[in-house]
Chains A and B, each alone.
Chain A
Amino acid sequence: MISLLDLFSLAAIGAGTFFFVAGTVGLLRFPDSLSRLHALTKADNLGLGLVVLGLIPRVEISLAALKLILIWGLVLTSGGSTAQLIGRVLRRGRK
Chain B
Amino acid sequence: MNILPFLDILLASLIVTVAASTVVARDLFAAVVSYVAYGLLLAFVWIRLYAPDVALTEAAVGSGVTGVLLITAGKRLAAIRKAEPEAQPGPALKWLTGALAVLVACALAAAILMLPDVPPSLAPEAVTAASGPGAGLGNPITAVLISYRSFDTMLEKVVLILAVVGVWSIGKDAAWGNAPAPLGRSRPSPAMVFLAQILAPIGTLIGIHIFWVGADAPGGAFQGGALLAAMWMVAMMARFDEPPRIDAKWLRLGLVAGPAVFLVVGLAGISMAGNFFAYPPGFAKPIIIFIEAFMVLSIAVALPLLVAGPPSEGYET
Contact = CB atoms under 8 A, between A and B. Distances in A.
Nearest to A84: B191
B194 interface: yes
Contacts of A85: 189, 191-192
Interface of A is mostly: helix
Nearest to B234: A78
A34 B192 CA distance: 18
Contacts of B202: 70, 74
B189 A78 contact: no
Nearest to A76: B198
Most buried by B among A74, A78, A81, A82: A81
B199 interface: yes
A29 interface: no
A77 interface: yes
A88 to B, nearest CB: 6
B189 A84 contact: yes
B302 to A, nearest CB: 24
A78 B200 CA distance: 11
Contacts of A88: 189, 191
Contacts of A77: 195, 198-199
B260 to A, nearest CB: 34
Contacts of B198: 77
Contacts of B192: 81, 85
Interface string A78-94: 10011011001000000
Contacts of A82: 191, 195
Interface of A: 70, 74, 77-78, 81-82, 84-85, 88
Interface in B161-216: 189, 191-192, 194-195, 198-199, 202
A78 B195 contact: yes
B95 to A, nearest CB: 37
Contacts of A78: 195, 199
Can you list the 5 inter-chain pairs with the closest CB atoms, starting with the nearest? A84-B191, A81-B195, A81-B191, A77-B198, A85-B191
A29 B45 CA distance: 29
Contacts of A74: 199, 202
A82 B196 CA distance: 11
Nearest to A83: B191
21 contacts: A70-B202, A74-B199, A74-B202, A77-B195, A77-B198, A77-B199, A78-B195, A78-B199, A81-B191, A81-B192, A81-B194, A81-B195, A81-B199, A82-B195, A84-B189, A84-B191, A85-B189, A85-B191, A85-B192, A88-B189, A88-B191
B269 to A, nearest CB: 36
Contacts of A81: 191-192, 194-195, 199
B145 to A, nearest CB: 24
B71 to A, nearest CB: 13
Contacts of A70: 202
Most buried by A among B191, B199, B202: B191
A74 B192 CA distance: 14
B110 to A, nearest CB: 39
Interface string B270-294: 0000000000000000000000000
Contacts of B191: 81-82, 84-85, 88
Nearest to A88: B189
A85 B192 CA distance: 7
Given A81-B194, A82-B191, 15 more contacts: A74-B199, A77-B195, A77-B198, A77-B199, A78-B195, A78-B199, A81-B191, A81-B195, A82-B195, A84-B191, A85-B189, A85-B191, A85-B192, A88-B189, A88-B191
Nearest to B198: A77
B73 to A, nearest CB: 19
A67 B192 CA distance: 24
A78 B194 CA distance: 10
